Amino acid sequence: MIKLDGYFINLDRSEDRLASVISQLEEIGWAQRVQRFPAVDGRLEGPFDNVGENNVWACRRSHERAILESDKDAATIILEDDVELSRYLPEIINEGIIEHIIESHSGIDMFFLDCAPYYDQVPQLLRAAERSMTSRAQADLNGADRHAVRGLAFPNAHSVYAFCAAAYVVTPKGKETLRKLFEAGPDIRYPIDILYRDWIASGALKANITVPFLATAKYMSPSTISYQELDQSQLLNNRNIALISAVRRLLFAGDPALDVNAIEPLLCESRDSSEYRLGMRVYESLWTEL
């Protein structure tokens, strides 16, 4: 049976994040399975004069090194240190399941436990999560059992994955694929998640996504990357960041931990036609019959 190991990427100066990840790993029984991987620190090294660009480069190098230095024959979990782990993660991601995934998805290189999806995929993803966590529909049910996972959707990342590399699993084949792609020398300014997105889009990297998400960043988790130092034209605005973060939390197999009152002002009134709104109600009604 295939071996499964893992790393969480953590800066030496991020002691609070270190404590949080270790506590969660101990709670789910993964303290020995997933080890700390020292992150490259963009404040201390990097090829650019701009600290923001060095932070992006350092994040990418940390992911590359964690993958390339891992056991080539093992499937490896890669986590960033601001993630929250679902209590159902060990139940769903284990040696037997990984082996089944590799056997049933020919040529798979990696699969994401979380991502920021393309906007047009959000309704389908929310529906898939709802079907996997049926207890959420019970208004009187509270606590951890409300988010119990009773199934898993596994869509192809090609039409879903937009960005974010907070949590994913790389297969042995994927390590060899990524080794070749990394060695091809793509522009070092590209963030790791944008590389993944472009390689998935081109077909160079075969990837899927677990729905519901089995690990995801805490809502609006402060980044260790100095985004204020980057070209702002390339970044999402704060409203979109907050809304995307909310979507990821709603797709998480655990408490979304969202303040609805804080999100409500970010939502806009529908500008769609009456036909569209009726069509969406028809769509929802059809799903209730499945």
Place of tokens 């020919």: 106
Query: What is the reported pTM?
Result: 0.93
Q: Is residue 229 scored above 80 in pLDDT?
A: no
In a domain, 269, yes or no: no
Report the pLDDT averaged over residues 79-98.
Answer: 96
Dump the DSSP string for 250-274.
Answer: HTBSS-----HHHHGGG-----S-H
Kindly report the average pLDDT of the chain as a whole number. Answer: 91
In a domain, 231, yes or no: yes
Percent of the chain clearing pLDDT 70 (strictly above): 93
Q: How many residues does the chain have?
A: 290
Residue 136 belongs to what domain range?
Answer: 3-261
For 40-85, the pLDDT digits (tens) are 999 998 899 888 899 999 999 999 999 999 999 999 999 999 999 9
Report the pLDDT averaged over residues 141-157.
Answer: 90
DSSP-H helix ranges across 47-121: 51-68, 89-92, 95-104
- State how many domains the chain has: 1
pLDDT band at 223 (very low <50, low <70, confident <90, very high): low
In a domain, 280, yes or no: no
Find the CATH number of the domain harbouring 67.
3.90.550
For residues 233 and 237, the model is more confident at 237
In a domain, 275, yes or no: no
pLDDT in the model for residue 226: 46
In a domain, 157, yes or no: yes
pLDDT in the model for residue 193: 95
In a domain, 45, yes or no: yes
Asked if 183 and 152 touch (Cβ cutoff 8 Å), the reply is: no
Report the pLDDT averaged over residues 116-130.
Answer: 94
In a domain, 277, yes or no: no
In a domain, 50, yes or no: yes
